Amino acid sequence: MAKGSSSYIPMAVVLAAVLVAVSLAVFLIGGPRSGFENPMNISAFEQALQDSGLQTCVQGDVNWTATPGFVYGRFYEISSNCSTFDPNRPEARVWVLEFSNLEARDAAVRNFETSRRHIGPAIAWVKGPVVILVDGSQRTEVVSALREAVASIEAHRGGG
């Protein structure tokens, strides 16, 4: 290796660049995830959905058997109007998943967010032990209404 401190400066530059980028992401955009104790459950989501006027065209249980820490989950195909719902053109596909512990919940979110290089229009909300995922959706207005419905849960419960 070349002698002299100048040889080490480029290495320090690389490491510093990575750490600065990490810090930027964390401190300027990132935020802590919801506390696990936040009293959220799946029925609160269903109530918010009903209150928002959105319709559930398809729903069912999520039967994951191999995922550690997974307790219970529901799947919904949401639409503004189920009479025009086309399963080949999903408007908003939502998974609401409950986990038994913080590590399992955060691992699920991490799996979801880093499964692809770019998650595109997918969304992951974390509320207490519950993770709400939106993926494969194709209608902006329905997803926007869904976003408001999820926000209203927070409002009712006073944060989290």
Q: Give residues 82-141 in contact with other proteins (rule: CB under 8 A).
A: 87-89, 93, 95, 97, 101, 103-104, 106-125, 131, 133-140
Please check whether residue 3 is in contact with residue 79, taking contact to mean a CB–CB distance below 8 angstroms: no
Q: Is 53 near other proteins (CB under 8 A)?
A: no
Cα first-last separation, the chain: 53
Give least dist CB 79 to other proteins, A. 14
117 to each of 24, 82, 84, 112, 120, how far by Cα in Å? Answer: 19, 33, 33, 11, 9
Give least dist CB 80 to other proteins, A. 13
Please check whether residue 126 is in contact with residue 150, taking contact to mean a CB–CB distance below 8 angstroms: no
Question: Is the Cβ of residue 50 or residue 101 nearer to other proteins in the bound state?
Answer: 101
Question: Is the Cβ of residue 3 or residue 53 nearer to other proteins in the bound state?
Answer: 3
Q: Is 156 near other proteins (CB under 8 A)?
A: no
